[in-house]
Amino acid sequence: MPPTARHTRRHAVSTRLWHWLNVVCVVILFMSGLNISNAHPRLYWGQAGFTAREAWLHLPTFPGWATIPGYYSLSGARDWHLLMAWPFAFGLLAMWVAMLTNRHFVRDIATRLSDWRWSAIRADIVAHLRFDFDHGEGKYNFLQKLAYGVVLGILLPGMILTGLAISPGIEPSFGWFAQLVGGRQSARSVHFLFAWGIVLFAVVHIALVIASGPIRQLRDMVTGGRAL
Partner 1 sequence: MKRRSVIAGLGALFATGCSKVADSSAGQALFKVSNEWHRKAQRALTGRKAMAPEFSRAQISPYFRGNGSLTVGTPGYAAALESGFADWRLLVTGLVEHPLSLSMDNIRRLPQRTQITRHDCVEGWSAIGEWTGPQLSMLLEAAKLKPEARFIVFHCADRLRGQPYYESIDLDDAFHPQTIVAHALNGAPLPERNGAPLRMRIERQLGYKHAKYLTLIEAVASLEQIRGGQGGYWEDVAGYQWYAGA
Grouping H, G, I as helix, E, B as strand and the rest as coil, residue 80 is: helix
Contact present, 113 and 24 (Cβ < 8 Å): no
Residue 206 as a binder of partner 1 (CB under 8 A): the answer is no
Residue 172 as a binder of partner 1 (CB under 8 A): the answer is yes
Number of residues that bind partner 1 (CB under 8 A): 40
- 73 vs 144, which CB is nearer to partner 1? 73
Contact present, 44 and 189 (Cβ < 8 Å): yes
What is the C-alpha separation between 216 and 157, in angstroms, rounded? 29
Binding mask 117-156 for partner 1 (x = CB under 8 A): ----------------------------------------
Binding segment (CB under 8 A) for partner 1, from list 15-23, 45-53, 102-110, 134-142:
45-53
- 39 vs 218, which CB is nearer to partner 1? 39
Q: CB-based contacts of 98: which residues, under 8 Å, 6+ apart?
A: 12, 14, 15, 18, 104
Angle, helix 74-101 to helix 156-165, in steps of 10 degrees: 130
Work out which of 50, 90, 133, 196 binds partner 1, going by CB under 8 A: 50
Taken in order 71, 77, 79, 80, the sign of the CA dihedral is positive
- 75 vs 114, which CB is nearer to partner 1? 75
Q: Which residues form the interface with partner 1 (CB under 8 A)?
A: 27-28, 36-37, 39-40, 42, 44, 47-51, 65, 68-70, 73-76, 78-80, 82-83, 86, 166-175, 184-185, 188
